[in-house]
Chain A
Amino acid sequence: MADSAAAPHAAPNTGGAEVTKRDFLKLVTAAGAAVGVGAIVWPLVDSMNPAADVLALSSTTVDLAPVQVGQAITVMWRGKPVFVRHRSAEEIAKAKADDKGRLPDPMTDAARVKPGKEQWLIVVGICTHLGCVPIGNRSTEVRGEYGGWFCPCHGSHYDTSGRIRLGPAPANLAVPPYAFEGDTKIKIG
């Protein structure tokens, strides 16, 4: 049996027109099969994307009323911490003054808050360096050299507008999409 492996087989007919027609048919069939396999693979891949119940919870409403001036709270949004900080007039002034300072990721303070609601700074509490959660949200914690937040993992300093000022982080703390639903109520996401 094994000996016959190398033996010649009935060679396929190699007539001209016949071959072209067959090759075309083969090509179309192979293309059809490829489309089919692709269609089978997509549901498998897509099943790893966020499911409907996860997507349905992708927004969070936060009541800001209990947060006093100078305080900050941490809320969960899409499984991540979001810092909500009630800034004092002094902190706002400092953030505005620094608009023209040396900023690794230049952005004005006004672009990071909602107009008329400058006292509320809402940022995703994840250091843009490697994903640690910076400290400084409680008034008792170290807030870094710029009075905002400080990431203890690799020493990134953020200012009172959540902008990166010093350290390895490349970008400012992200501002999540949110909207005011009332005077002291926001919907994040």
Chain B
Amino acid sequence: MAGLHKSEFQNPVINWIDSRLPVFTMLQKEYGVFPTPRNFNYLWNFGALAMINLVIMIATGIFLAMNYTPHATMAFDSVERIMRDVNYGWLLRYVHMNGASMFFIVVYIHMFRGLYYGSYKTPRELLWILGVIILLLMMATAFMGYVLPWGQMSYWGATVITNLFSAFPIIGDSIVTWLWGGFSVDNPTLNRFFSLHYLLPFVLVGVVFLHIAALHITGSNNPLGIDVKGPQDTLPFHPYYTIKDSVGICVYLLVFACFVFFAPNYLGHPDNYIPANPLVTPAHIVPEWYFLPFYAILRSVPDKLGGVLLMFASIGVLALLPWLDTSPVRSARFRPIYRILFWVLAVACVVLGVCGAKPAEGIWVVLSRIATAYYFLHFLVILPVLGKFERTLPLPESISRAVLPTGGGGPLPGGAAAKPMEKA
């Protein structure tokens, strides 16, 4: 039997498969007994929630695509037909539409959790960068998906966002014409956006797989931000975290259902129920809420190219974060100053979101400039400097000592154990 995997499963069918293709052993190792820090709080649910959300989006998307027509003269009508005539078409469409918002809510919370607990720090730099790539893919997918109903916001959103590329000198206009496949956003643009909107989620699945693979090499971070020291610090993923994630999934679905069934258009924009009209721009165009902070950064710069570059830089800076934050301590729980600044950053992001929704005039311009300035200051100046000077609180000796009532002993005095980056 040389060459066969030595499977430990008793069930003969599972054993037969597992000996030849050890998927069950892998599942058991990665999701069954996988040693997971025992002190996760509910914020650690959001990775699983994002997974579920991606599955929901792909499932509803595939069935919507069966009834959608990617043509400039028929797209709007085909969406209305889905809403009116297709069995449960309204449900699929509202789930997909609100699912995009839910996805960003979940992923933004997931990211802020990472920021708070220093999940991006060594050895999880690549894991974090893969996350930034996932965010970029999500943004591209969401943007192209929003174009598909071919309403006024679809059309003008596509026009404004693709025009961002015209900011680049010399080649800018050629890029935009290439993106459009014509001299304005039109049928060729809609067609290619549909094609890419169908493709990118599967690329997303691939990157998510890498994200999880990387996670399972380094192991998860935890609210204390200290490394796992041994088996007493961990629990098997199943049943402890499968059930804890299930609680989160139920609550998430509850929130999701409230939007879908009782306020399906709350997060959308009424102008998108007006068919696209290349001759009239709506009076007040705004992107979907999840792009508002980036939109505010774009508008806070009075220069076209500068605004575009700054907007892309706001995501790019996240990819550099593992090296910008110089503090050896991960969790904000032990970083009194960083903890405050984290909330300042969160407020700055919310302020940017609000400013992005308001007309670019008066106080909103001033506010968005202040918030943008803080955003970059936070990552580029404060974090590198703060890491050198901040007096961190003493770290607990181990996870089990900190969280188990019988584990005895609190934090060791005098920061004696403050070697958080050491390998378990």
Q: Which residues of A contact B (CB under 8 A)?
A: 1-2, 4-5, 7-10, 29, 33, 43-44, 46-49, 51-54
Q: Are B85 and A47 in contact (CB under 8 A)?
A: no
Q: Are B88 and A46 in contact (CB under 8 A)?
A: yes
CA distance A48 to B88 in the complex (A): 10
Q: List 27 A-B contacts (CB under 8 A).
A: A1-B35, A1-B228, A1-B423, A5-B33, A7-B231, A9-B33, A9-B235, A10-B235, A43-B88, A43-B91, A44-B63, A46-B88, A47-B67, A47-B87, A47-B88, A48-B66, A49-B87, A51-B67, A51-B81, A51-B86, A51-B89, A52-B84, A52-B85, A52-B87, A53-B84, A53-B85, A54-B85
User: Separation in Å of the B405 CB from the closest CB of chain A?
Assistant: 14
User: Separation in Å of the B234 CB from the closest CB of chain A?
Assistant: 7
CA distance A25 to B231 in the complex (A): 28
Q: Are B88 and A1 in contact (CB under 8 A)?
A: no
Q: Which residues of A contact B88 (CB under 8 A)?
A: 43-44, 46-47
CA distance A65 to B124 in the complex (A): 81
Q: Are B92 and A44 in contact (CB under 8 A)?
A: yes
User: Separation in Å of the B53 CB from the closest CB of chain A?
Assistant: 13
Q: Which residues of A contact B89 (CB under 8 A)?
A: 47, 51
Additional 13 contacts, C-beta under 8 A, given A1-B228, A52-B85, A54-B85: A1-B219, A4-B35, A4-B228, A4-B230, A4-B234, A7-B35, A8-B231, A9-B35, A29-B246, A47-B67, A47-B86, A47-B92, A52-B84
User: Separation in Å of the B406 CB from the closest CB of chain A?
Assistant: 11
CA distance A75 to B81 in the complex (A): 26
Does B60 touch A at the CB level, under 8 Å? Answer: yes
Q: Which residues of B contact A7 (CB under 8 A)?
A: 35, 230-231
CA distance A44 to B234 in the complex (A): 39
Chain B interface mostly: mixed
Question: Closest residue to B34 on the A side, CB-wise?
Answer: A5
CA distance A47 to B87 in the complex (A): 5
Question: Closest residue to B229 on the A side, CB-wise?
Answer: A4
Interface string of B213-253 (1 = CB under 8 A from A): 00001110000000010111011100000000010000000
Q: Are B35 and A5 in contact (CB under 8 A)?
A: yes
Q: Which residues of A contact B218 (CB under 8 A)?
A: 1
User: In the complex, which of the residues B33, B35, B66, B231 contacts A47, with contact meaning CB atoms closer than 8 Å?
Assistant: B66
Q: Are B85 and A51 in contact (CB under 8 A)?
A: yes
CA distance A33 to B249 in the complex (A): 11
Q: Which residues of A contact B91 (CB under 8 A)?
A: 43
Q: Closest 4 A-B residue pairs measured CB to CB?
A: A43-B88, A7-B231, A52-B85, A51-B85
CA distance A8 to B235 in the complex (A): 9
User: Separation in Å of the A59 CB from the closest CB of chain B?
Assistant: 17
CA distance A44 to B89 in the complex (A): 9
Q: Are A48 and B63 in contact (CB under 8 A)?
A: yes
CA distance A10 to B232 in the complex (A): 7
User: In the complex, which of the residues B35, B81, B232, B423 contacts A53, with contact meaning CB atoms closer than 8 Å?
Assistant: B81
Q: Which residues of A contact B419 (CB under 8 A)?
A: none
Question: Closest residue to A54 on the B side, CB-wise?
Answer: B85
Q: Which residues of B contact A44 (CB under 8 A)?
A: 59-60, 63, 88, 92
CA distance A51 to B84 in the complex (A): 9
User: In the complex, which of the residues B29, B92, B230 contacts A43, with contact meaning CB atoms closer than 8 Å?
Assistant: B92
Q: Are B231 and A4 in contact (CB under 8 A)?
A: yes
User: In the complex, which of the residues A5, A10, A33, A51 contacts B87, with contact meaning CB atoms closer than 8 Å?
Assistant: A51
Does B424 touch A at the CB level, under 8 Å? Answer: yes
Question: Closest residue to B84 on the A side, CB-wise?
Answer: A52
User: Separation in Å of the B94 CB from the closest CB of chain A?
Assistant: 11
Interface centre among B60, B88, B423, B424, by most A CB within 10 Å?
B88
Q: Which residues of A contact B230 (CB under 8 A)?
A: 4, 7
User: Separation in Å of the B303 CB from the closest CB of chain A?
Assistant: 48
User: In the complex, which of the residues A4, A8, A9, A53 contacts B424, with contact meaning CB atoms closer than 8 Å?
Assistant: A4
User: Separation in Å of the B133 CB from the closest CB of chain A?
Assistant: 24
CA distance A33 to B89 in the complex (A): 23
Q: Are A33 and B60 in contact (CB under 8 A)?
A: no
Question: Closest residue to B231 on the A side, CB-wise?
Answer: A7
CA distance A53 to B77 in the complex (A): 13
Residues from 395 to 424 in B contacting A, C-beta threshold 8 Å: 423-424
Q: Which residues of B contact A53 (CB under 8 A)?
A: 81, 84-85
CA distance A18 to B314 in the complex (A): 53
Interface string of B156-177 (1 = CB under 8 A from A): 0000000000000000000000
Interface string of B107-141 (1 = CB under 8 A from A): 00000000000000000000000000000000000
Question: Closest residue to A33 on the B side, CB-wise?
Answer: B246
Question: Closest residue to A32 on the B side, CB-wise?
Answer: B250
Interface centre among A7, A8, A46, A47, by most B CB within 10 Å?
A47
CA distance A52 to B85 in the complex (A): 5
CA distance A99 to B206 in the complex (A): 65
Q: Which residues of B contact A43 (CB under 8 A)?
A: 87-88, 91-92
CA distance A43 to B60 in the complex (A): 10
CA distance A171 to B29 in the complex (A): 57
Q: Are A1 and B87 in contact (CB under 8 A)?
A: no
CA distance A173 to B88 in the complex (A): 35
Q: Which residues of B contact A49 (CB under 8 A)?
A: 87
